[in-house]
Structure 1
Amino acid sequence: MKTIHYSPLSGESKNFELQTNSENQIISIGNPHDQHHMDWVKPGAVWGKVHCKYDLDVKVTRRFTDAGDLEETMVFTNNTSFDIYTLSDGIGIYTPFPDYYTKASIGLTKCCNAHIWCGNTSSYIMGLRQGGEAPNLGLIVQHGGIQSYSIERGYDFKGREEEVSNNRGLIILHPDNFILHPGESYELVWKLTWFQDKADFQKRLLNTQDYIHVSSPAFVTIGNEPIEFRARFGGNLPKNPPLLLCNGERAEYEIQGSAVSVKYPVIQPGEYTFTITWGGAKTEAKFLATLPLCQIAKSRVSFIVNKQQCIDPKGHLNGAYLIYDNEEQAQYYSHLNDHNGGRERVGMGALIALYLQTHPDKKLHASLSKYVDYVTRELFNPDDGTVYNDVQRNNDQPRLYNYPWIGILFLEMYKLEKDSQYLNWYFKLMVHFYSLGGDKFYPIGLPMRESIKTFRQAGQTDLADKLLKMYKRHADFIEETGQNYPESEVAYEQSIVAPAARYLSDMYLMTDEEKYQQGAQLQLMGLDLFEGFQPDYHMNEVAIRHWDGYWFGKRRMLGDTFPHYWTTLSGLAFYDSELVIGTDQYTHKAQKSFRSILSLFRKDGSASNAMIYPMTVNGEVAHFYDPWANDQDWGLYYILKHNEF
């Protein structure tokens, strides 16, 4: 970059309170009508800072529009004697929305969930306050385009290492590639606008000239399902019809007023990228076509049994299902928490137990039996219900999250083998869980309603009543706590809110008490704020998460994970929501959430724990599926649990 100049702000607005530094860079953005006085610039960051690797002169201007929005224009000029070609992350513009986690009492009013869509000329960031209360802040591109984004974040922490999970980092937008001859300029313009909620933001997108809005009932299709979507043009329609390409080939469509409708047959599984060019606008939409669920499940459970089960009669791990490194084609174990022989990896056993209930297989069943022997020998004490963190009944770091996962395994084993011992173990496990303070904890996957139903069907009504009493005490705490969530391994996250919504829904459906219905409605509203509507199967109705690749992945990279399998927790909460709140407001989101994780599973049964979505993280190339199959099988478990396969 030769020079960069930030011009003073032009005009006045009653809708914005801005602070700038000595270089005319914005360091604070507020709304004077916001009772919480939220600053929409992350503390210590500079809004709109430009990074440029090329020999370009850059001028940044800002003005308030007649509508009261803040318009920002970045002009890149080639004042050299030679052509300049830009690529990928060669130019980056910092848009540091305050997307980080802290105490709920602060974060729900002072922090946001930033939903990013880099769709060329149809790009935006939808900043939703974590508590949902308006005003919310959006960024909408007006001219030029955005091709991708990167994340810049620190690995610093003051106490527990888990604190690195709380900070999503700085969002850096990368303009579309461009070519400038000597004397030419490229202009990128966006506006910052206040909005009420998701629906209001979508209206603003559709009212943006040349914005192409793509919606679909399913960005992940299964089996022979066709790809269907609708692309709607914002503003005045161009004279010429649009050009649609699918993976580079022309695609048919029907024009319906200011929109086009597409129904595209799936020939084979894989990614289908549609490029839409309409007038001066250009964007894309990404779909994934998968094999039928039964084939995905069969391949995956076979892979686990054949390649991920430890066969070592001399070792404590004998029978365990372990991490699999797809690069080295080898099992991996470490006593390090998220790489060990217990914890989230119990999901592999639960998946196989569920699968065998409808697809009997002697080899798979024999493997599962070895695994259950391993669990009861190394990870669970049948005498008192203790669940351990790792082999040798090791509890260097006791963890309440581990209890429901072993419990799910036992429930599925009971359904498979009808041995009441599994129900006895489940009950002991739950008693011990609650003796350790579980009723003031937000566990993941606790099968409240399902376990009560299973116990009653088994004739264990006395134990079912005792379980219900414990669950009710737990649900009462969640309902009374509302949105004042206690901090967990991550200070605040989707997998705190989703379980809260699910457990209150379960309790309402079991007791019909109105307080649980009202509590569930509040949690569902908060949960929906984590979900976006970007036209990309990686992101559409996928909850924002940005730390799992560091803890569970081989690359140990922090950064947005789109998708991550725990987004299915949102699907669980949304699944029965119509029975709870009486409307289908969230129902359609459930299957989108479940299906989104199917990209983590391959045709041969191999899998990845997460995709690190940004173009780069801290300058390192990202946008990859991590090579480790680790804990992702909970996602497949839940989609199979709620679909015929």
Structure 2
Amino acid sequence: MSVTLTAAQQAAIERSKREAQATSNLTEYAGSALKFGNGRALLDQQTGAPVAFINDDNPERHYLLDDSVSWHTSDQYWGSGYAITSLGGAQWNKPHQYEVSGGEEHQIFAITGTGLALDVTRTGGERLTERYEWRNVTNQTVTITGLGVQAPFNDRYPGASKSLRECVNTHIFAGGDWSWVLAKPMNGQGNRLGLIVREGAINAYSIQSRNQVTYSDVRGHIVLQVTDQAINPDSFGGQPSIVLEPGESYVLSWELGWYADEQSFLSATDAPATFSSMSATVGQSIIVTTEREVKAIGGGLTVQRTDTGDVLTADHAGTYQLALVDGDARAHTEVLFHKSLKDTVNDRARYILKHQVAHEREGVLAGAIVATDVRSGVHFIDASWNDWSDGSERIAMPVLLQRSLNLGFLEEPLRGPAQQAADRWRDFAEAALIDETGAIRRGSGLPESEFGGRLYDCPWIVSFYTEHYYATHDEHDIDMALKIFDRAAEIGGEHFLSIEFAESSATLAHVLEVAGRLEDAKRLRARVVASADYFLKLGSDLPYHEVSYEQSITAPLVSLLLEAHRITDRAKYLDGALERLQWLLSFSGPQPDSRLYGVAIRHWDGYWFGINRQFGDVFPHYWSTLTAEVLARLPQSHRTKETDVLAKAIFEANMANYGTDGSATCAYVFPSNVDGRAMHQADPLANDQDWHLNIWMRMIAEEDFPSD
């Protein structure tokens, strides 16, 4: 396999290898511990901070970052943090005193310069209870505008095997007094560690140490925030200030426990409300069942109380914040109302044709469809930054135009221009992105040595050619598609988990078969099976794919095995797919938030694809629809009402990435702040997000999943 890696990628591989080989000495730990359930919290001998949560049924699982991780230090130990007040800002880390006795720990911190002192109590038992009490120790009013507690969950990718064996996917719901965190083993097996707020509130979360870590294998240090008003006052529906008179206190208390599955954890959260769904099409409604008062935060959302619950409606597409209030208790979340899939596709096609075709360029290059700043309409084309090139992920846009045409989605005035743009894009691709052997390069401005340097792009261009063939019946299209896949196989495609490889292969094989090219179809399907055999043999030792491990490695793996099962009907492929489906679903959380429910964790695309070049959790990210795609392609014997509901929720969540005018965002960076920079906002670049619409449309075309 000939793939060119950047210096950053090479460095990331080396770092992942080092951290994969590194081991923690926790098994020989001699310090204090607090028992809870069938596990214990190990306490640092110098500070008393928890440095590990150990579950006796799964002692290899590292729920927290530890000393084997080069960028994790005592400055980010569990329970340390920072405060910003009307008197100043400071961190706490080392207590002035602490003691452990009788299954209980006490710590006292003086947060110098803030007017606050902090008392921490940890108590073991069936659950580990932690109580943080910030006291005003001055003789004047102190207003708290920033308050964050470190929660360094081990959410990172030190290679697939170690990730699956040791690491956790951490799902955060910062919903005010209805807040929790669920750390799920990355292989989907064994006890989950759950944190549930019982007193006080978590109104936001942030990420630290992210931009200092130069690649995509780490999520960073998670900080749970009582308030982030000082940095991002409007995030998560608005951040509160906490006013303490002399001698007054603010208390945050939560409990940590082990849970056998997601449902048992959710039952323990004592949710104050249930939602009929987190997303709905404009014109439909969302029903909230709660004893609390439901209030819209901001305009546009209508709340009507009825005998059956609070009915939420909206006249315009968008995300809407709401609060659930009961006296001083206040929870918050957001819901989404979106246009129909057909209307959204038409909006995007109209916007792409008007704003994202590179008409200003000379010759065939004018047929490219490129990333665009939605604020100004200016095109972003940069050969030196692959994710702003005129190829690669931007292939989504010509696929969208051609697929929506073929499906009959586009309105009459758009059909002619869309087909013309698709035809011109084919000319552009053949002149600038594909060489005579069928190898692909990521952009027209790259040197010829880059042809064949990236296998991800191959199934995407094959998808375009297959769709173009459906429209034109030009056999040149399927010749080119087959040529690209043949070349991809020569340079290692069967040993690489390209996104949409299985699906594109299946569609092309069907086209070849209908065209009477049976041997070509047979060869293509044989490659799918050979690739499935290769990855079954590897087990959890998956190779590096630009990131050491991620959801968009696991989803194509499950899809590959499902397709091999469709081709052969051999049980080993279905069994392998179902085992790895648990790996895949671990990336998705059950947070009652329209941007989060079912959406897989991904935390680097704002940096690589956006204008703001910002690392940090992206919710929703369009590749989360790969999980929905897998669920929709399960054999009928394994599809359930629950899997269909989850798939639909993921497809709908990604509607948040499109503006009502057809503009779009490549990345909504979700945390309230990342390394002190205010986030919880959409990047202004329309770039690569349309794969979500493409996947949904293909699911409809193949009758695997209904439209909305």
TM-score by length of 2: 0.82
Of residues 266, 288, 303, the one that matches 1:251 is 303
1:63 aligns with 2:122: yes
Of residues 268, 271, 285, the one that matches 1:226 is 285
Alignment of 1:47-86 (within 5 A): 47-54=78-85, 55-66=114-125, 68-86=126-144
Measured against aligned partners, the alpha-carbon deviations of 1:383-419 in whole angstroms (never above 9, x if no partner) come to 4221122216745541011111111111111112221
Output the CA distance in 1 between the equivalents of 2:511 and 2:329. 55
Equivalent in the alignment of 2:48: 24
1:461 is matched by which residue type in structure 2?
A: L
Equivalent in the alignment of 1:366: 420
**Residues 268/132 of structure 1: CA separation in 2 closer, same or farther (3 Å cut):** same
1:593 aligns with 2:640: no
Offset, 1:277: 2.1
Offset, 1:532: 1.0
Contact 2:317 2:660 in 1 (8 A): no
Measured against aligned partners, the alpha-carbon deviations of 1:506-553 in whole angstroms (never above 9, x if no partner) come to 221232111111111012111111111111111111100000110001
Offset, 1:91: 1.0
Output the CA distance in 2 between the equivalents of 1:91 and 1:364. 51
TM-score by length of 1: 0.90
Runs of 4+ aligned structure 1 residues displaced above 4 Å come to 8-14, 582-585
1:350 aligns with 2:381: no
Q: Secondary structure at the match of 2:620?
A: strand
Output the CA distance in 1 between the equivalents of 2:33 and 2:537. 48
Output the CA distance in 2 between the equivalents of 1:562 and 1:39. 23
**Residues 261/480 of structure 1: CA separation in 2 closer, same or farther (3 Å cut):** farther
Alignment of 1:85-124 (within 5 A): 85-87=143-145, 90-124=146-180
Alignment of 1:113-152 (within 5 A): 113-152=169-208
Output the CA distance in 1 between the equivalents of 2:432 and 2:159. 36
Contact 2:437 2:487 in 1 (8 A): yes
Question: Please, which moves more after superposition, 193-202 or 180-189?
Answer: 193-202
Output the CA distance in 2 between the equivalents of 1:21 and 1:502. 47
Offset, 1:502: 1.2
Alignment of 1:18-417 (within 5 A): 18-36=42-60, 38-43=62-67, 44=72, 45-54=76-85, 55-66=114-125, 68-87=126-145, 90-156=146-212, 164-176=215-227, 177=240, 178-206=242-270, 211-216=271-276, 218-231=277-290, 241-247=291-297, 251-253=303-305, 261-278=309-326, 281-312=329-360, 314=362, 317-335=365-383, 336-357=385-406, 358=408, 359=410, 361-381=415-435, 383-391=436-444, 394-397=447-450, 398-417=453-472
Output the CA distance in 1 between the equivalents of 2:361 and 2:221. 49
Output the CA distance in 1 between the equivalents of 2:302 and 2:480. 59
Output the CA distance in 2 between the equivalents of 1:477 and 1:254. 57
Output the CA distance in 1 between the equivalents of 2:426 and 2:302. 53
**Residues 38/516 of structure 1: CA separation in 2 closer, same or farther (3 Å cut):** same
Output the CA distance in 2 between the equivalents of 1:261 and 1:480. 52
Output the CA distance in 1 between the equivalents of 2:482 and 2:150. 52
Measured against aligned partners, the alpha-carbon deviations of 1:116-146 in whole angstroms (never above 9, x if no partner) come to 0001111111001111222221111110001
Question: Please, which moves more after superposition, 602-611 or 571-580?
Answer: 571-580
Q: Secondary structure at the match of 1:426?
A: helix
Output the CA distance in 2 between the equivalents of 1:371 and 1:42. 50
Contact 2:282 2:313 in 1 (8 A): no
Contact 1:563 1:611 in 2 (8 A): yes
Of residues 444, 447, 451, the one that matches 2:508 is 451
2:404 is matched by which residue type in structure 1?
A: Y
**Residues 483/250 of structure 1: CA separation in 2 closer, same or farther (3 Å cut):** same
Q: Secondary structure at the match of 1:304?
A: helix
Q: Secondary structure at the match of 1:640?
A: helix
Contact 1:483 1:523 in 2 (8 A): no
Output the CA distance in 1 between the equivalents of 2:344 and 2:639. 34
Q: Secondary structure at the match of 1:102?
A: coil
**Residues 250/558 of structure 1: CA separation in 2 closer, same or farther (3 Å cut):** closer
Q: Secondary structure at the match of 2:522?
A: helix
Output the CA distance in 1 between the equivalents of 2:328 and 2:258. 26
Contact 1:10 1:63 in 2 (8 A): no
Offset, 1:584: 4.5
Measured against aligned partners, the alpha-carbon deviations of 1:61-83 in whole angstroms (never above 9, x if no partner) come to 233344x2211111111122332
Measured against aligned partners, the alpha-carbon deviations of 1:132-164 in whole angstroms (never above 9, x if no partner) come to 22222111111000100000124456xxx6xx1
Equivalent in the alignment of 1:563: 620
Q: Secondary structure at the match of 2:206?
A: strand
Output the CA distance in 2 between the equivalents of 1:466 and 1:431. 10
Offset, 1:316: 6.4
Contact 2:141 2:243 in 1 (8 A): yes
Equivalent in the alignment of 1:238: none
Output the CA distance in 1 between the equivalents of 2:639 and 2:562. 12
1:148 is matched by which residue type in structure 2?
A: A
Output the CA distance in 1 between the equivalents of 2:639 and 2:680. 40
Output the CA distance in 2 between the equivalents of 1:582 and 1:269. 30
2:586 is matched by which residue type in structure 1?
A: L
Alignment of 1:520-539 (within 5 A): 520-539=577-596
Offset, 1:182: 1.7
Output the CA distance in 1 between the equivalents of 2:358 and 2:666. 19
2:606 is matched by which residue type in structure 1?
A: G
Contact 1:76 1:186 in 2 (8 A): yes
Measured against aligned partners, the alpha-carbon deviations of 1:11-48 in whole angstroms (never above 9, x if no partner) come to 75562041214222222332244342535244434001
Q: Secondary structure at the match of 1:524?
A: helix
1:48 is matched by which residue type in structure 2?
A: G
Q: Secondary structure at the match of 2:269?
A: helix
Of residues 428, 440, 456, the one that matches 2:495 is 440
2:198 is matched by which residue type in structure 1?
A: Q
Output the CA distance in 1 between the equivalents of 2:676 and 2:284. 39
Contact 1:505 1:580 in 2 (8 A): no
**Residues 590/10 of structure 1: CA separation in 2 closer, same or farther (3 Å cut):** closer
Output the CA distance in 1 between the equivalents of 2:573 and 2:317. 42
Offset, 1:439: 0.7
2:117 is matched by which residue type in structure 1?
A: V
Output the CA distance in 1 between the equivalents of 2:635 and 2:115. 55
Offset, 1:445: 1.3
Equivalent in the alignment of 1:5: none
Output the CA distance in 2 between the equivalents of 1:491 and 1:580. 33
Offset, 1:613: 0.3
Output the CA distance in 2 between the equivalents of 1:130 and 1:621. 29
Output the CA distance in 2 between the equivalents of 1:571 and 1:546. 19
Matched-pair identity in %: 27
Output the CA distance in 2 between the equivalents of 1:189 and 1:392. 56
Contact 1:609 1:628 in 2 (8 A): yes
Output the CA distance in 2 between the equivalents of 1:627 and 1:230. 36
Output the CA distance in 2 between the equivalents of 1:156 and 1:623. 20
2:296 is matched by which residue type in structure 1?
A: C
**Residues 98/485 of structure 1: CA separation in 2 closer, same or farther (3 Å cut):** same
2:627 is matched by which residue type in structure 1?
A: S
Measured against aligned partners, the alpha-carbon deviations of 1:342-396 in whole angstroms (never above 9, x if no partner) come to 1111111100001111136112211221111101110113x42211222167455
Q: Secondary structure at the match of 2:508?
A: helix
Contact 1:42 1:97 in 2 (8 A): no
Q: Secondary structure at the match of 1:175?
A: strand
Question: Please, which moves more after superposition, 185-194 or 261-270?
Answer: 261-270
Number of residue equivalences:
611
